[in-house]
Chain A
């Protein structure tokens, strides 16, 4: 049972570079989410999706973009990486009114 799979696990970017964080789930969940966790803090919602083709902003969406072309995949795109985006990124999925299942996270450093 893979659950929620995030790749890569670690990445270092230079300021101004772009990259895509991948997230895939095999539980046929309609809902998917991207969070970031800064040191010593709780998770903050970046973007979420309630189904294929539907995405919406969370609490901290600036500097990020998402797409949801399939039920399984929910990639997060960083354009023009900035030091403030250094964080641990978590992808999660769920059905409505059910607990969210999290991936193992992607640790991203921007130097």
Chain B
């Protein structure tokens, strides 16, 4: 069975510092997609970054980058130069082999950026 694990329920980071949010997954599928979403206190789900299992280069989107280590089955999100507006819940999610595009979510990490 496919499973996503986020082991950090909550984290603090100082403004302007980098932070890594952990995500590990368990699957026997060879084809899958890795996503990170941000959920601020206002509640909406905001797509941040995507990495396909066959992509050899780590994905980057502005201050967000994905540290994808396929052999370790991990897909950590790195946020550089943290800003106060980065304070939110962050969810790792995956789609697995097949054409349905269904997402399975982790339990999330609550990030608090301190001034």
| Residues of chain A at the chain B interface (Cβ within 8 Å) | 31, 33, 35, 40-45, 48, 50, 56, 58, 88, 90, 92, 94, 96-102, 104-105, 107
Contact = CB atoms under 8 A, between A and B. Distances in A.
Given A42-B93, A99-B35, 7 more contacts: A42-B108, A43-B91, A94-B101, A97-B33, A99-B47, A101-B47, A105-B43
Interface string B76-100: 0000000000000001010100011
Contacts of B99: 50, 96
A7 B43 CA distance: 15
Give the contact-size bracket for chain B.
Answer: 20 to 34
17 contacts: A31-B100, A35-B103, A40-B107, A42-B91, A42-B93, A43-B105, A44-B105, A50-B99, A50-B100, A88-B43, A96-B99, A97-B33, A97-B52, A99-B47, A100-B35, A105-B43, A107-B43
